[in-house]
A and B are shown apart, each in its own frame.
Chain A
């Protein structure tokens, strides 16, 4: 395994001032006193062996630490470096849900399997040759796996198409779209990730799409930061909708409710998109929106990343977050397929006494389109 010092160097960890801000904002450290990005870096610099299961897999890679770090130390990147070595050495994480959610990307990585997952789509709402594509991501699979939570992912996809139709776009759905590989990447399975990347890059190039619209922040962040898609514009649905508001563009009809918005880690901190989703929610008449104490760049993670390490620590993080949400609103608006699952799950079990509903942003906005506004 590569020396820890090498990985520390790549992540600029030697620049650490040991100021402590990272540990202060880390959602894992908030519930687990043993976990501290800063102490990890310090111990690593002092020569400790950081290849420990309890350390390497506990980070949720949310970048809260990087957001406040005065020296730009990329702790999640450092963790990723360690994870690659750990996985290769057979010391991988606890995969949740029987490793099913890692199996699907691995199957798709093989390159020849053509998924059949578009039956739910109404052909009149999509187009076979539009230059604008809607990247579905794992939605259709998650619908199946998380049926016991009431699904909701196909609903997101349908809602996205409805919103795009209202914006005058009939998006393309690509049959051969494979998993973006985000979870493979972040669990250190570089080989599978590279296969998925190669497959998707080829598919997208051959398709000739010029613009890709995302509902999933992880797909967006992965394609933007790790893929080579020259000449293709990538955009989140909330950016498109926010841009169409006002000036005689999109108007939204009234909704009731006291809501608060959960910034997904990949959308808020990794991509810096915090305003557009809020602008759209604020354009819905009747909707009362409050901010949680930790919002925007300071938002707290939903507790789990890449479908690993679902444990007591994760649950505590989730409980803390839903408590924070219920303190200011009745409904938590999520904007990520995984946040949706994680919050629904905790509210069904450990947090069932917490008075909070969860709804997806895209679904809410699509609902607000009914009967409202002209299309742009």
Chain B
């Protein structure tokens, strides 16, 4: 690949415009901006220096453009906030005035100065002057850059097929893109398929989900891969390559889901969909409305191991002859432009909270187990019965915040849904069995969403009691009932109450395989273990990796409405990339100088983005850059012992100039610059080793190898 050439501009003396922003009082309250601007005027190369109240405002930007024209400025230094906020603003203003975007430098005198030295005004002002001096030094050496355009594939991958994944897939498919919907279990649907009713609408959950599942199943643009997991991901935004491991079903598409095979199968195991409260066979469909409806054989349970056929009952029972034990796992490569991660959440296991007796006493169950019991398609056909004796409970208690808001033995965060889940569950019980006494033991009731307060009100109208005081223990009375003992914190009295069923309102937590997903896709996780968004307020569905988005509980606990909202948002974000069909790559990627590159490959080892690779053999082995994958971190340039890597827009010269400026005297002695002679002219290409600012002797001027590294 030929070395990138950048448009050469005729060398001219730099004329730097310095703009010191007040940012209202954010900077000006601590830093004397006027003094900094006055100081900037004294710096070599500075043609104009002013201070201004809000540089990012429209008038501020107009000021920049006007000055560029009127004062023939060819470099800008904006001393203001972090470039993470307004670099695009000032770059665009410069570009509008005819200047290359990359001739703008920012000095952060807010986050790096005024905000961290609030009580040291004099010191902060001096530091701001230093930062501006450094910025001017760099600005003098900046060269124009051209941004590359990278094509974006118009195909998307959605990982996880719960309601969030399904919604995102439908949106993208309707917009015309081909979508791979990848799901690790045998059917799409996720948690929403397990729930009985939704809050606050009291809709039958699977009834409103199934149409979406069905639509996804038959959509011409959606390709569903179930029993599949993403095992590797390469590439970069617009051009991802996902390796998907497909575990076979051992059942062909001709399966009519009649169930004869399951009836014949001799192996019984707990059914995950029913939270282990019911059983399934080794050959099974997870639930009645499964999409795809094709049955699956769980080979871990099946009596046939490898190619040894010990049992053929399903084969014999199957009329359409759809059983096929010869199927093999496959690894497929999917080339996609964008990825949406919608892998959902797991639930907290309350066994470790010994005081509640979960797993010790069968009549202590979780809310998710309750959903399966009360569901007409569940193990008890919707009859709420005690697991101990299958009798209907007359007194039921809910305990809130189990595993959530718990620093010691649970998760520190609030799980968002549990209050409303319980309110809904209580109403469900009352609907069917109005005489059942229901008490909810809580710390707070969070009914924050649309329609939530109404549902909470309805529950209280129906006679559900809300008692503020989490029980300290659940103990058996010996007659089949359970005693809850606690403190009613509003009455300031201890209580002891007996119940026939205790339901623990468990919280959500990251999936057990979240670490694997994170590793494969190089995602970040927040402190609570969920995947991290790029910005909690302004980019809630983006990840720090361009082209990868989040939706649903994978990002944090939330209900169906918010999961669907995020799914639509993620689809929209993916759509932006894919609709344009190409994206700009910021011109901060490395240039490889083949004449210096020895092909050692160290740069490849240190790149966290897989953005650099080796090409060629022997003496012709050289490093090559994948610009779109590169984040401009500079690690490769720092590592290269042969100075063969030049980091565009962050060249060694520019950085040395900043260091020299930082370590020089604030006011140079009269008549002499404190720096070694500035080159003056911009250097768009590379400088020859001899003219570097670094004074460490080299072993050989031609090899450019630094003596320190010899």
Contact = CB atoms under 8 A, between A and B. Distances in A.
Interface string B80-97: 000000000000000000
A21 B494 contact: no
A228 B258 CA distance: 71
A23 interface: yes
A24 B405 contact: no
Contacts of B443: 17-19
B179 interface: no
A66 B472 CA distance: 12
A128 to B, nearest CB: 45
Nearest to B400: A19
B486 A20 contact: yes
Interface in B402-429: 405-408, 410
Contacts of B488: 20
Contact of B473 (A36, A69, A298): A298
B494 A68 contact: no
A71 interface: yes
A24 B486 contact: yes
B472 A24 contact: yes
B486 A21 contact: yes
A298 B354 contact: yes
Given A19-B489, A20-B489, A24-B486, A70 B408 contact: yes
A38 B470 CA distance: 12
B406 A24 contact: no
Interface string A208-242: 00000000000000000000000000000000000
Contacts of A23: 472, 486-487, 494
A279 B210 CA distance: 52
A18 B489 contact: yes
A298 B469 contact: no
B468 to A, nearest CB: 7
Contact of A296 (B354, B476, B487): B354
B471 interface: yes
Given A20-B487, A70-B406, A72-B408, A25 B473 contact: yes
A293 B401 CA distance: 24
Interface in A161-213: none
Contacts, number: 73
Given A297-B354, A298-B354, A24 B471 contact: yes
Nearest to A66: B408
Interface residues of B, number: 25
B254 to A, nearest CB: 54
Nearest to B496: A24
Interface string B472-489: 110110000000011111
Interface in A250-289: none
A38 B494 CA distance: 12
Nearest to B486: A24
A98 interface: no
B355 interface: yes
A21 B471 contact: yes
B696 interface: no
Interface string A1-42: 000000000000000011111111100011001001011000
A21 B407 contact: no
Contact of B469 (A20, A70, A71, A296): A20
Interface string A111-154: 00000000000000000000000000000000000000000000
B695 interface: no
Contacts of B492: 36, 39
A24 B473 contact: yes
Given A23-B472, A25-B472, A298-B473, A70 B405 contact: yes
A36 B469 CA distance: 13
B487 A70 contact: no
B444 to A, nearest CB: 8
Nearest to B441: A20
A28 B487 CA distance: 13
A66 to B, nearest CB: 8
> Which of A22, A23, A30, A39 has the most chain B CB atoms inside 10 A of its CB?
A23
Contacts of A33: 493-494
Contacts of A18: 443, 489
Nearest to B410: A70
Contacts of B355: 21, 25, 68, 297-298
Contacts of A29: 487, 494
Contacts of A19: 401, 443, 469-470, 489
A33 B491 CA distance: 12
A72 B405 CA distance: 11
Nearest to A295: B354
Nearest to A42: B489
A38 B401 CA distance: 18
A297 B472 CA distance: 12
B487 A36 contact: yes
Contacts of A72: 407-408
Nearest to A64: B472
A24 B493 CA distance: 10
A335 B487 CA distance: 31
B408 A69 contact: yes
A17 B475 CA distance: 24
20 contacts: A17-B405, A19-B401, A20-B469, A20-B470, A20-B487, A21-B486, A23-B487, A23-B494, A24-B486, A29-B487, A29-B494, A36-B487, A38-B489, A68-B355, A69-B408, A70-B407, A72-B408, A293-B475, A293-B476, A298-B355
Interface of A: 17-25, 29-30, 33, 36, 38-39, 66-72, 293-294, 296-298
Give 5 closest A-B pairs by Cβ, nearest first. Answer: A24-B472, A20-B469, A20-B487, A25-B472, A23-B487
Given A20-B470, A22-B472, 16 more contacts: A18-B489, A20-B472, A20-B486, A20-B487, A23-B494, A24-B472, A24-B473, A25-B355, A25-B473, A36-B487, A66-B408, A68-B472, A70-B401, A70-B410, A293-B476, A298-B355
